[in-house]
Chains A and B, each alone.
Chain A
Amino acid sequence: MKGPVLALVAAAGALVAAGAAVSLIAAQGGWYEPLPAVAAAGEEADAGPLAARLAALGPRGAYVVADTHRNRLRVYRDGELLRDAVCSTGSGALLRDPETGRQWIFDTPLGEHRVRRKARDPVWFKPDWAFIEEGFQPPASFRDRVDDVSLGDYGLYLGDGYIIHGTLFQTLLGQPITHGCIRLGDADLEYVYKNVPLGARVYLY
């Protein structure tokens, strides 16, 4: 009879000790709880003019919206969807030059841009990273940097070297594999070139 009683007492003692230990540890910690939210101080203004100012900041006519996660590019005119295309956007990869330590991040730049220039049969002047990525030293000869094939039939230039252009690797469209540019298939690129005017806004997110 003594055995079971002693075991019970020991178990109860162990439980109390464990509870005390948990309590001691918990007392060093904390937790999250809801914060009260209140209206910001100040007089309430008329929302109408503000809504009008916000609307006035938006685009007019044709504009482009590209989702860099899903790799979709859509063309709108005054809010109406005109074209929904598969594209490829920046890989997000980071390239390091082993000789100079320079770094490049291949992100597609988010936010609003404008079509600054349009070109048929665009020519790409390959920057240093295009060689370093392939394990080559950048060539001294300018001629070695000229590539009149890779960008496809049309180019819409967004500034800072970012272009909406074509690709030789159409089966890879829909994947984030570019250096920040936006690649389109041939038919979609032709549509964008012909329907998105110079100066049109391009929203990348």
Chain B
Amino acid sequence: MCTRTCLWALAFTFTEALAAAQGAAGPGPAAALALEVELARTGAVYLLIDPVSDLLEIKSRGVVLDAVPLAGFALLGYRPARGAAPPAAVELPAVWTVTDDAAAAYRQVIAPGELRPFEPEAAEEEPPSTAVAEALPPPPASYRVGLDGGWALNVGPRLPSGGWPSRLRHAVADGWARWRGRPVDERRLLAVALAAEDAQRLHHLFRPETKILVVAPPPAR
């Protein structure tokens, strides 16, 4: 068991070093600008992730509507314990498209049991329901949003740990889930670490067709 663990640790160290070395040689700004011009043509809101300046910008038509500081960013691939296939390299800059409606699970549902005939007098006596602020649960600070191409955006206060104890815990949790017949999420991840308040305020922007542009590889640190 010790030998196997040591081999795992060596494999992790090697892939991290490889990723860092390749990440250091990023493309110039023109390729990212060309992609952004295409996004900005539509007038839709899009997100621009710049791991070099540690910023996530909310933009439309090229205008920065808001920006939040990135506490971390990483591209992560799922590696099965029994599969040693090297992870495929990711070409950047690149655009991802949101496929989930992240807000759907946090909507208040208004469903009158039955409707009564309209009476102007009764309507005037009752204040509109929108005059009463409902106490809705705040959006989550950690969540995962589906993206196209078998990817997901992972938002949380920190990046998934790369250390081998954390990976062993992950492998055990996934193995346990699989053993019990539960699905295991093996999508590749755009992992973004944000302050809780920033993660909450971005949550509603993840609607189907929202675009995310990652302009450069994460710098080696």
Contact = CB atoms under 8 A, between A and B. Distances in A.
A and B: interacting chains = yes
Interface of A: 19-20, 22-42, 44-47, 50-51, 53-55, 57-59, 65, 67-70, 91-99, 105, 107, 110-112, 131-139, 144, 168-169, 172, 175, 177-179, 201, 203-205
A44 B34 CA distance: 11
B31 A44 contact: yes
A93 to B, nearest CB: 4
Nearest to A48: B30
B94 A40 contact: yes
Contacts of B175: 24-29
Interface string B154-182: 00000010100011101111111111000
Given A23-B4, A135-B115, A169-B131, A37 B40 contact: no
Contacts of A132: 112, 115
Contacts of B79: 30-33
A19 B45 CA distance: 50
Nearest to A56: B62
Given A19-B1, A36-B18, A38-B22, A30 B186 contact: yes
Interface of B: 1, 4, 12, 15-16, 18-20, 22-23, 25-31, 33-34, 36-37, 40-45, 58, 60-63, 65-66, 74-83, 87-94, 103, 106-120, 123, 126, 128-131, 133-134, 136, 160, 162, 166-168, 170-179, 184, 186, 188-189, 191, 200-201, 204-205, 207, 217-218
A175 to B, nearest CB: 5
A35 B81 contact: no
Interface majority SS on B: helix, strand, loop or mixed? mixed
A35 B115 contact: no
Contacts of A91: 108, 130, 134, 136
The list of the 6 closest CB pairs from A to B, nearest first, reads A29-B174, A29-B175, A37-B217, A112-B43, A39-B27, A28-B175
A172 B109 contact: no
B194 to A, nearest CB: 13
B60 A112 contact: yes
A183 to B, nearest CB: 10
B33 A25 contact: no
B76 A34 contact: yes
A37 B40 CA distance: 25
A93 B91 CA distance: 39
A135 B112 contact: yes
A139 B118 contact: yes
A203 B63 contact: yes
A55 B112 CA distance: 48
Contact of A94 (B109, B126, B205): B109
B174 A28 contact: yes
